[in-house]
């Protein structure tokens, strides 16, 4: 530990306040009919058999994604195409220049 760290006074956090309201007893459960519970269990088991867990996780994560709007997508696509064409033309120009330089100096 450095001297600077040893010189600093240790800061202690104040103790957390306990909640003033403490519920007594168990939480109330939602009422669900027996037929609805069996139907939900059947659907859940069918889904578990068809889709592996990682596929369900993929769908759950895709629902959380903040997807871009159509305008943002078209604008960014145009930027990518413009940069790709510009870089292609730049590299093509460099290639043609070096080709001309080699043909006119070394191969004469």
The pLDDT value given to residue 38: 77
Chain position carrying tokens 């800061």 = 11
**What token pair was written down for 93?**
């120009």
The pLDDT value given to residue 23: 64
According to DSSP, residue 106 is labeled T
**Residue spans of alpha helices (H) in 14-69:** 34-50, 53-64
Chain position carrying tokens 């895709």 = 62
User: pTM of the prediction?
Assistant: 0.45
Query: What are the mean pLDDT values of the chain's consecutive 10-residue runs (108 residues total)?
Result: 60 65 67 75 67 80 91 97 98 96 87
> 34-68 burial, b for 16+ CB within 10 Å, e for fewer?
eeeeeeeeeeeeeeeeeeeeeeeeeeeeeeeeeee
The pLDDT value given to residue 82: 98
């Amino acid at each position: 530990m450095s001297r600077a760290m040893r010189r600093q006074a240790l800061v202690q956090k104040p103790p957390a306040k306990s909640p003033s309201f403490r519920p007594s007893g168990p939480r109330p459960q939602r009422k669900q009919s027996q037929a609805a519970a069996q139907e939900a269990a059947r659907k859940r088991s069918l889904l578990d058999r068809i889709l592996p867990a990682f596929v369900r996780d993929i769908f759950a994560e895709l629902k959380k994604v903040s997807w871009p709007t159509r305008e943002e997508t078209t604008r960014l696509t145009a930027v990518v195409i413009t940069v790709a064409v510009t870089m292609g033309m730049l590299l093509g120009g460099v290639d043609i220049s070096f080709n001309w330089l080699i043909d006119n100096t070394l191969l004469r």
